[in-house]
Amino acid sequence: MGNLLEHMGIEKDRVHFSWISSAEATKFVDVVKEISDKVKALGPNKKFVKDYS
Amino acid sequence: MDTCIQKIREIAGDLLEKGEVERVIGFAEGSIPMATSPVAISTKEDAQKLCFSSTCGLNLANYASKEKGKKIAVVAKGCDSRNLVTHIVENQIDRDNLYIIGVPCPGMVDKFKIAAEMGGEITGFEEAGDTLIVSTVDDKKELNKQDYLRHNCSLCTHKNPVLFDVLVGEEVEEQQLDNAYPDVDAIEALTADGRWKHFEELTQNCIRCYACRNACPLCYCPTCFVDESGPQWVGKGQDKTDVDTFHFLRAFHCAGRCTDCGACVEACPMGINVRDFTRKLNKDAQDMFGWEAGLTIDKRPPLDAYSPDDPNDFIK
Amino acid sequence: MPLKYVINPDVCLKLQKDKCGTCADVCPANAIDYTQTEETITLNAGSIVFSPGFKPFDPSRFDNYQYANYPNVVTSMEFERLLSASGPTHGHVMTMPKLPMKPKKKADKALAEKRKDPKKIAWFQCVGSRDMNKCDNAYCSSVCCMYAVKEAIIAKEHDPELEPYIFFMDMRTPGKEFEKYYQNAKEKHGINFVRARVHSVTEDRDTHDLNIRYADEMGQIVDDSFDMVVLSVGLEIPQETRDMAEKLGIDITDHGFCKTDSFEPVTSSRDGVYVSGVFNNPKDIPESVLDASAAASAAGDFLADVRGTMTKAEEKIEETNVIGDPPKIGVFVCDCGSNIAGVVDCPSLTEYAKELPYVEFATETLYACAQDTQDKMVETIKEKGLNRIVVAACTPKTHEPLFQESMVNAGLNKYLFEMTNIRNHNSWVHKNNPEIATEKAKDLVRMAVAKAALAQPLAEEKINVNDTVMVVGGGLAGLTAAKSLATQGYDTHIVEKKDVLGGEALKLYKTAQGEDVGEKMAALVADIEANEKITVHTNTTLEGVEGFVGNFKSKLVSGGNETELEHGVAVLATGAKCSEPTEYCFGDDDRIIKTLDLDKMLKEQDAKLDSVKTAVFIQCVGSREPNRPYCSRVCCTHSIDNAIELKKRNPETDVFILYRDIRTYGERELLYKEARELGVIFIRYEVDRKPEVKVEKDAVKITLIDHVLNQPVEIEADLLTLAAAIEPRKDERLANFFKVPLNDEGFFVEKHAKLGPAEFATDGVFVAGSGHYPKPVNEAATQGRAAASRALTLLAKKDSLFTSGTIATVDQEKCSQCGVCVSICPYNAPGFAADGRFAGTAEINPVLCKGCGLCVASCRSGALHLRGFDTNQIFSQIFALGEVV
Amino acid sequence: MNSTKTGSVVVIGGGISGMLSALDLANSGFYVYLVEKGPSIGGVMAQLDKTFPTNDCAM
């Protein structure tokens, strides 16, 4: 799914897949931090967003 | 081409006469030039209606599955045969009830391109080998077929049927391509914004008639996700996000199953190359699983099977 | 654990001096009763399982470590509590943890001001273990190496700046996945390992930092300073337990552990008394769990003919039909003591919940899981006519079944329940942002309520259980399991591919306790063959398995003949084998042999042994190497045992053992001690400086660098025994038959590393023996019994075994018959309906379905649904999250 | 075996081993008395934070 989204122009870093067991708290924190940093760097997404207004 | 049509008629007539099949699905001439359309015949006499030319771009596998439980014969090009394989694998057709009249495919022409070249309404279309003789009311041109091949046919590496009971005509030579996905590469080379723009422009004329879905042999669900209202997976209006969601999700439903037969594009009244969505997934299937759809009835598409050692580089 | 307060009578003013009495005044439940006294209750029972546990060693008497005096020297148990989120510091590691958190005394207050986050912590191994100088505990406590590594890793995870040091003699990580854990600690986590026994600890009077002094491997004295020292204290059997053992009349060893036979490892010296846990030799959790089940199996064998005579049937409560009724939701918000309420504003959360759609009732509870709260929940459901329940508390993984039981007691279908985790997912992670945490808790509750409103009662299918058992593998573990199952009345079939029963154990000479393996195995095989309930299939292979728990059909092939065996459960005890070494010139000379070859020579009293003047053993041959990163567990003890044997045969023989770490865990350590006393010479080598072996005419020449002298040493041996790695059979076909996983190395992966060590995640399939991990005789027998016990609990439930309600279902109108579900399911649950109106469409076998949802996600037609997690429920949660309230 | 045996078992010790032994026995058809000297069952494991080598929570 990530591949086609990326192909359509959705930046790769906006979609993330991860396998974290309930015992891997540290990994969860690391992954979430990493993703939020990457997404923050990309700025708000304007693609594939429905405008309800 | 004529001997091939002759043979199709002969075989079809024979099968129907002997009662080996109830119906034969093939192509018949349409009411206007180049508009060949699918036809199902059930008598020996009607076999004379069958034809075959470079304008038979629709995929007949789509019609075969609608005849579940009956013994039928289908005229199949390379891609049709691959979709028949998919249908056998996906339990849509019983191989025992199916007789495949295989036709080595000469490649189908791009009707939009010819129409654009000719300008006016086309009143006549003939072909002699690689020469297409096309006429309008006030013009007549001889065109080189290779210049007017459909894009998917120009990249086709499975012109000969992969599964058949009888083959009409000699097998044609399959082409060897260095790169089977130059179009995907071209899109991949764009920036993220460039790619987004490409797809935005691609689908801007979509009227959501679902002709692409209807022409596609892979789309046989009793209720399509776009028609579902509980839950409503995708909005039903012309909102651009919903249009894109439709194309995006439809492409996914074809992942690992699409034979790039081009029926979707052939059917689109707005001339949208929706293959830009599916081709990327075909390339991924090839790169990640070494998979091309519809080549064998012994294996299911990679995304249909559970394997603990699937590639999972995307999971971090 | 029941969270009930009790009065400590030794310090209670009311009981001691008849003053105070405040607790009785303030207790709203009138639960205080000062008149309760000790009562003696006499129980009549058919047998006893004695599992008294251990006491962590008390290091106060060690003056060199000053545990009693220095505030920064703690025991591993105390450190464990420091790391724990439910501990005194809520998981925050700080120095001087032994002081009260809010000290009252003046001196303590002054000390507490010097508290800091430690940056350097040292663990001292073998405190109260392997020590005859300062205490009498010669044995190894088996668990301390691993727990120290664990504590160091967790502490480092809490604070990446931390520098943990572990001071050890031998790293003993011989358990499953342990060696990798140890290597990861070194390589990935940056834990420092120092091979040294620390002599003493002194304290900086001002900062209370600790200075330690030790001799490093080269004999150099090193001084270093740490913020904290953790003493990895051993496990000890307290006097009280020894007294009780004496009362029970069971034999114990010098160290207070129970004496057991290797082949009956949970049976005490007295009939009808069985033992388990650390009292039956030091062990970790999974081994204690195995012991527990094994003791149950042994006690059950003893009482086989009176099984089921005293049990009582549970009362069945009529289920209320709620279909068609509008949802009436009850919300229970749990404070979890201060775990949740300390962060989340639970009263306002409860008020908020009351306002949500369909919520009829909401209340806050101190501990939702407490028995009295549960009773109240049942009462409230009945009184208010609630038909859906939401509990906002901790994790459903541990507590959902408990709440569901209360649902059932109140006459509600247990799937009308929804749990949301406002502790682990909320109060624990957002403890510094109570306001945001409260908002998030509201979101979570709102989502749970939205989902619960759509919950439907789900039916569970009854599973019929075939009484027959199939045991694959006729080795020690398999035979032990079969014997117990047959004794308790179940027809048992043993499938063995060889022509004889006994397996690899037949190649062993003696156990670590000196029992003759050959004799014992012969007796066991004779028992098996005499047992009417057991059918032995030798020269037989398993060629296919169909079915599921309670209803397996296996294809057995013997000499070209195929038979089908129907059975309800299966025990996989396929064992392991000895690997063929590729190093140390193995195969070039008949003086270079494997451990099992030496066993054979000893068994047969081979005359060649008499001429051996110098015998060398090399350990870790093929184990703890990149391609086999695990420790083979048994080789250290085995080689030492054989070394002792050689020394005893001829004290003049020079015996050398070349090792990396000696891993004689538990009382096996005494063998190591004995070997040294007998003059066996132990030389350690590093993995990157392995011994070199050269075959010469008169001797096998072995060269290695001595770690003490740092000089090359040359030994001319006339017998070189290689402790070759134990290798799993890596039977992928068998694993596939039963849909059970193999790990990277090819050992079977059990259901749960701690709590399910003798069973698979696949219901009705159990595991025992070295196919699970290399293990010595007593452990293989224990696991054999444990697997039998686990199987017995399933077989005994015969009439009350149900599937889960959360399984996939098919909307057959929508099914396109494409077969993706059939193809993609790892459990073979979907199939095509054979007849009826929807013939050809998919249907789910509820017994096989695990509710994983793979088919649901893969269905293009939207025909598949997961009960209890239906699309509309998921959507309702998502929309509820999006709602701006 | 004589038939005067009682179909019940006393399990002494409410640690992880005792608890699970009691559960197995109860689930396989025996009446079980679980005896623990402390005020609650759970033993040492309940006091641990995490367990090796999976680092699972011990509770």
**B-chain residues within 8 Å CB-CB of A1?**
252
**D-chain residues within 8 Å CB-CB of A23?**
50, 54-57
Taking an 8 Å cut-off on Cβ atoms, the answer to whether C150 and D25 are in contact is no
Q: Is A21 on the interface with C (CB under 8 A)?
A: no
Domain with CATH 3.40.50 in chain C: 329-453
What is residue C670's three-state secondary structure? helix
Sign of CA dihedral B189, B193, B194, B197: positive
Other C-beta atoms within 10 Å of B137: how many? 10
Q: What pLDDT does C428 receive? A: 85
Segment holding C111, helix H or strand E: helix C106-112
Mean pLDDT of B126-144: 91
**pLDDT class for B205, splitting at 50, 70, 90?**
very high
Task: Please report, in angstroms and rounded to a whole number, the separation of the first and last CA atoms in chain C.
Answer: 38
Closest residue, chain D, to A26 (C-alpha): D55
Of all residues in chain B, the percent with pLDDT exceeding 70 is 96
Smallest Cβ–Cβ distance between C814 and the set B222, B233, B303 belongs to B222
C329-453 CATH, one of 1.10.260, 3.40.50, 1.20.1300, 2.60.120: 3.40.50
Q: What pLDDT does A5 receive? A: 78
- Which of B183, B184, B197, B199 is the best residue to mutate to test the A interface, defined by the most A CB atoms within 10 Å of its own CB? B199
- Looking at this protein, which amino acid is placed at residue A40? K
Smallest Cβ–Cβ distance between C43 and the set D23, D33, D48 belongs to D33
- CA of C646, closest CA in chain D: separation in Å? 37
B93 and B64 Cβ atoms separated by less than 8 Å: yes
Smallest Cβ–Cβ distance between B231 and the set C826, C832, C875 belongs to C875
- Plot region of C415 (φ>0 → left; ψ -120 to 50 → alpha; else → beta): alpha
Q: Of B86-100, B211-225, C138-152, D27-41, where does the model show the most confidence?
A: C138-152
Q: Is the pLDDT of residue C329 over 80?
A: yes
Mean pLDDT of C684-711: 91
- Which of C12, C39, C51, C242 is the best residue to mutate to test the D interface, defined by the most D CB atoms within 10 Å of its own CB? C51
Q: Is C454 on the interface with B (CB under 8 A)?
A: no
Of all residues in chain C, the percent with pLDDT exceeding 70 is 99
D in contact with B (at least 3 C-beta pairs within 8 A): no
C818 and B68 Cβ atoms separated by less than 8 Å: no
A in contact with D (at least 3 C-beta pairs within 8 A): yes
Mean pLDDT of C781-807: 90
What's the distance, CA B13 to chain centroid?
A: 26
Q: What pLDDT does B66 receive? A: 59
Give chain C's mean pLDDT.
92
**A-chain residues within 8 Å CB-CB of B245?**
48
Topology of the domain covering C578-727: FAD/NAD(P)-binding domain (3.50.50)
Q: Is the pLDDT of residue C499 over 80?
A: yes
Q: Is the pLDDT of residue C885 over 50?
A: no
Task: Please report, in angstroms and rounded to a whole number, the separation of the first and last CA atoms in chain D.
Answer: 41
Question: What share of residues in chain D are helix, strand, coil (percent, to 5)?
Answer: 25, 25, 50
Mean pLDDT of C162-178: 96
Residue that is written with structure tokens 């100088």 in the block: C133
DSSP designation for C445: H
Smallest Cβ–Cβ distance between B241 and the set A1, A2, A50 belongs to A50
Q: DSSP readout, B132-165?
A: EEEEETTEEEEEEGGGGB-HHHHT-S--S-SS-S
Taking an 8 Å cut-off on Cβ atoms, the answer to whether C157 and A26 are in contact is yes
The more confident residue out of B67 and C218 is C218
B81 and B163 Cβ atoms separated by less than 8 Å: yes
C883 and B246 Cβ atoms separated by less than 8 Å: no
B275-289 helix and B240-253 helix, angle to the nearest 10 degrees: 40
- CA of B198, closest CA in chain A: separation in Å? 8
- CA of D38, closest CA in chain C: separation in Å? 10
Question: Is this complex scored with an ipTM above 0.85?
Answer: no
Q: Where are the domains of chain B?
A: 1-108+154-176, 110-148, 178-303
Closest residue, chain C, to D29 (C-alpha): C308
Sign of CA dihedral B300, B304, B310, B313: positive
Q: Is the pLDDT of residue C486 over 60?
A: yes
What count of CB pairs under 8 Å joins A to D?
6
**B-chain residues within 8 Å CB-CB of C812?**
none
Helices (H), C367-430: 371-384, 396-409
In sequence order, the β-bridge partners of residue D32 are D9
Taking an 8 Å cut-off on Cβ atoms, the answer to whether B248 and A4 are in contact is yes
Q: What pLDDT does D2 receive? A: 47
Q: Measuring CA to CA, how many Å separate C92 from each of C88, C130, D4?
A: 9, 32, 57
Taking an 8 Å cut-off on Cβ atoms, the answer to whether A22 and C395 are in contact is yes
Q: What pLDDT does A1 receive? A: 56
**pLDDT class for B310, splitting at 50, 70, 90?**
low
**Subunits in contact with chain A (3 or more CB pairs closer than 8 Å):** B, C, D
Topology of the domain covering C808-866: Alpha-Beta Plaits (3.30.70)
Q: What pLDDT does C767 receive? A: 97
- CA of C367, closest CA in chain D: separation in Å? 15
- CA of C843, closest CA in chain D: separation in Å? 33
Q: Is the pLDDT of residue C399 over 90?
A: no
B52 Cβ contact list (under 8 Å, min separation 6): B1, B4, B5, B8, B26, B27, B75, B103
**Subunits in contact with chain D (3 or more CB pairs closer than 8 Å):** A, C
Closest residue, chain A, to B188 (C-alpha): A7
* Structure token pair of residue C245: 């053992």
Domain with CATH 3.50.50.60 in chain C: 57-235, 578-727
Task: Please report, in angstroms and rounded to a whole number, the separation of the first and last CA atoms in chain B.
Answer: 55
What count of CB pairs under 8 Å joins C to D?
200
Q: Is the pLDDT of residue C45 over 80?
A: yes
Taking an 8 Å cut-off on Cβ atoms, the answer to whether B92 and C817 are in contact is yes
Taking an 8 Å cut-off on Cβ atoms, the answer to whether B304 and C823 are in contact is yes
- The upper half-sphere exposure of residue C181, i.e. CA atoms within 13 Å in the direction of its Cβ, equals 23
Mean pLDDT of B116-139: 90
Q: Is D38 on the interface with C (CB under 8 A)?
A: no
**B-chain residues within 8 Å CB-CB of A49?**
241
Smallest Cβ–Cβ distance between A11 and the set B184, B192, B245 belongs to B192
> CATH top-level class for C57-235?
alpha beta
Using alpha carbons only, give the angle C850, C853, C859 rounded to the nearest 5 degrees. Answer: 130
Q: What pLDDT does C86 receive? A: 72
In sequence order, the β-bridge partners of residue C165 are C122, C192
Mean pLDDT of C511-528: 96
- Looking at this protein, which amino acid is placed at residue C369? C
Taking an 8 Å cut-off on Cβ atoms, the answer to whether D21 and C276 are in contact is yes
Edge-to-edge strand ranges of the sheet holding C614-621: C592-594, C719-724, C614-621, C654-659, C681-684
Closest residue, chain A, to C153 (C-alpha): A26
Smallest Cβ–Cβ distance between A2 and the set B193, B241, B314 belongs to B314
3-state SS record for C258-323: ECCCCCCCCECCCCCEEECHHHHCCCCHHHHHHHHHHHHHHHHHHCHHHCCCCCCCCCCCCCCCCC
**C-chain residues within 8 Å CB-CB of D19?**
292
Q: Where are the domains of chain A?
A: 2-42
